[in-house]
Amino acid sequence: MTSPATSNANRYARYGLSLPQQTRRALEKRGIYCQPSVSIEHQHLARRYVLRGVESGGAVADMGRYCSYLNADGTPAPWLQQIDSISGNGRHAIIIAPEFVRIEMLRIGHTYELAITRLWLKSEEGHTRPAIATAPVFRGQQGTLVIDLQNAENKSLRGTVAPVFYTAAGEAFSLPEHFNTAIQKITGAVACVGCKHTHIAVAPSANKGGEL
């Protein structure tokens, strides 16, 4: 039997951060739409299954939520298409790949939640359609960053700093080295008020250099 702790871990690995209803309502009220769940899609011409993710999210003054997708080595995944919207703080790009790493962050004031998860397709005996396999890479809870990145005077710092996460004993966690740049980028994204652009995913040609 799967323990509740294991079940919860599997759920956030598959669907993203599990947020209290009050937090979800607060995000909805502020018009912040973030879609961390992924789906399995079938490419008929290529005769293969792929994962589909959506880079999405944005911020208002007191809250922000954002998710995007990376290659396994921490470099940005190329988007298939960008999505423009009038309102902002919503969908920004579609990412298609056989496997990728999802990075998701929530900001409430100066407090941050971070989840980095590897997702890939796994064949199942007796089934033509594969299943989504997941593995948590990093989970940071109640991180802190005292700088108000959402303020115009600090805009130049976006993408260069990240919150600090602590153990229960008060020791700072070391962030996964391969994902340092992406963590800094998404920290800037959850402070991008009225966000209308991608912060992490890149155009397919721009990904050849493998850098954010």
Q: Is pLDDT at 41 greater than 50 in this prediction?
A: yes
Contact 88, 95 (CB under 8 A): no
pLDDT in tens, 93-115: 999 999 999 999 999 999 999 99
Backbone torsions φ then ψ of 171, nearest 5 degrees: -95, 140
pLDDT of 125 reads 78
Alpha carbons 36 and 157: distance in angstroms, whole number: 25
Mean pLDDT of 170-198: 95
Contact between 174 and 148 under an 8 Å Cβ cutoff? The reply is no
pLDDT at 211 over 60: no
pTM of the model: 0.89
One-letter amino acid of 10: N
Distance CA 89, CA 107 (A): 14
Q: What is the pLDDT of residue 16?
A: 85
